[in-house]
């Protein structure tokens, strides 16, 4: 079993040609019941397993799906990765594919990594994450006509298959909840306007406020990088507003800023959940252990990963895509902070 068991070995044992073994095992040839039996037994007893490299060679494809992700800084957490990767790997394996993770490069050379994987025929398609407006990878792959599915949308005029979480629906849900609890001055800690995901999430905030006929409080929309420190500083500014203008609730476009907000509230001697209500976004695993536990919006990450691979495999098999765009609904997880 350790020396390579090839079709020829099985054929020798079964007393047929190796091509016949191939066809029989792949169900492409009808043979006499006895021969069929002999071949199956030989394959079984020798422990034959097809050499995937040779299969790839013959098929001219690698049955690999390229995937690259931005590595978070060591003090940030990528709680997404485990779920997303695991779900993709499982879905891919079920379809006879595997994932090929490769290092993420910033800037100009980013597309080079994709080009190289295509040129060396290491992958049959890509799953993209962290896409943004005018993502060079999308332009490149569309131009090359190379199969890919993106987790996340980009420019509306670019036509490509994607799966995304409906961020607007998430914040809308959260803001509606806050409005129903009587809050009127609801602040938002947002990302810079250049962030597509940020704009999506923010949209739900506007929608909910407008639908309720509640005008935005002045100074209540703050933007910055989504870090703890930025969240803290923005919140301190909000809390220093005169009493009548000060927001009673706050929604952050990610958990890290929400945690910064909670920290700021404590610095001002306020109790989160009572004096200031805070809602985050992402529902990172640890936020349930914060004091108080953070209300946040959870994305169906595993489902997204499965869907991305499922769609990509459909493309790779040359079948028509049922739905080119999939929008998944996030869920508000209520905890003591709101």
Stretch that binds a copy of itself, among 30-38, 125-133, 161-169, 283-291 (CB under 8 A): 283-291
| Closest distance of CB 32 from a copy of itself, Å | 28
Report the residue from 35, 56, 207, 303 that binds a copy of itself according to the rule CB under 8 A.
56
Report the C-alpha gap between 137 and 323 in whole angstroms. Answer: 22
**Site track 121-140 with a copy of itself (rule: CB under 8 A), x = hit:** xx------------------
Interaction between residue 214 and a copy of itself (CB under 8 A): no
Contact 239, 206 (CB under 8 A): no
Write the CB contacts of 236 (distance below 8 Å, at least 6 apart in sequence): 264, 267, 268
Q: Contact positions toward DNA, by CB under 7 A?
A: 4, 6-8, 15-20, 22-23, 25-26, 28-32, 34-36, 48, 50-51, 54-55, 57-60
**Token pair for residue 103?**
């290092």
Say what the alpha-carbon torsion angle 54, 59, 60, 64 is, to the nearest 10 degrees. Answer: -80
Q: How far apart are CA 156 and CA 134, in angstroms?
A: 10
Strands of the chain (E only): list them: 64-67, 98-101, 125-128, 148-151, 162-165, 186-190, 221-223, 249-252, 277-279, 296-298, 325-328, 331-333
Give the side-chain half-sphere CA count within 13 A for 240.
Answer: 8
Scanning 12-20, 46-54, 175-183, 184-192 for contacts with a copy of itself by CB under 8 A, the matching segment is 46-54
- State the binding partner of 31 from a copy of itself, DNA, none, CB within 5 to 8 A by kind: DNA
Nearer to a copy of itself, 54 or 334 (CB): 54
The least CB distance from residue 73 to DNA, in Å, is 38
Residue 294 interacts, among DNA, a copy of itself, none and using kind-specific CB cut-offs from 5 to 8 Å, with none
State yes or no: residue 106 binds a copy of itself (CB under 8 A): no
Nearest Cα neighbor of 331 from 308, 299, 294 is 299
Select 67 or 205, whichever has its Cβ closest to a copy of itself. Answer: 67
Of 54 and 329, nearer to DNA (C-beta) is 54
Determine which residue in the list 18, 25, 40, 90 makes contact with a copy of itself, applying CB under 8 A.
Answer: 90
Nearer to DNA, 14 or 252 (CB): 14
Q: 299 CB contacts (<8 Å, ≥6 apart)?
A: 165, 170, 282, 283, 328, 330
């Amino acid at each position: 079993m350790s020396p390579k068991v090839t079709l020829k070995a099985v054929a020798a044992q079964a007393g047929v040609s190796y091509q016949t073994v191939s066809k029989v095992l792949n169900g492409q040839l009808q043979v006499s019941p006895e021969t069929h039996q002999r071949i199956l037994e030989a394959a079984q007893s020798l422990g034959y397993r097809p050499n995937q490299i040779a299969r790839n060679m013959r098929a001219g494809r690698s049955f690999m799906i390229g995937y690259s992700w931005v590595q978070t800084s060591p003090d940030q957490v990528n709680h997404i990765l485990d779920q997303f990767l695991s779900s993709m790997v499982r879905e891919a394996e079920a379809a006879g594919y595997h994932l090929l993770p490769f290092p993420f490069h910033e800037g100009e050379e980013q597309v080079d990594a994709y080009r190289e994987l295509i040129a060396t025929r290491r992958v049959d398609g890509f799953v993209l994450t962290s896409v943004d407006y005018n993502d060079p990878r999308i332009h490149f792959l569309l131009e090359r006509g190379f199969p890919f599915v993106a987790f996340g949308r980009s420019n509306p005029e670019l036509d490509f298959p994607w799966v995304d979480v409906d961020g607007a629906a998430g914040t809308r849900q959260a803001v509606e909840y806050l409005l129903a609890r009587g809050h009127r001055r609801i602040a938002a800690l947002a990302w810079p306007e250049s962030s597509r995901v940020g704009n999506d999430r923010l949209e739900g905030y506007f929608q909910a406020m407008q639908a309720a006929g509640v005008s935005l409080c002045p100074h209540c929309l703050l933007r910055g990088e989504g870090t703890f420190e930025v969240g803290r500083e923005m919140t301190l500014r909000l809390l220093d507003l005169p009493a009548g203008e000060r927001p009673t609730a706050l929604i952050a476009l990610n958990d890290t800023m929400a945690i910064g907000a909670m920290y700021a509230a404590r610095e001002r001697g306020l109790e989160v959940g009572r004096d200031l209500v805070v809602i985050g976004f992402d529902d990172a695993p640890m936020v349930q252990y914060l004091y108080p536990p953070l209300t946040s919006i959870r994305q169906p990450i595993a489902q997204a990963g499965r869907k991305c691979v499922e769609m990509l495999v459909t493309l790779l098999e040359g079948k028509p895509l049922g739905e080119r765009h999939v929008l998944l609904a996030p869920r508000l997880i209520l905890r003591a902070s709101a």
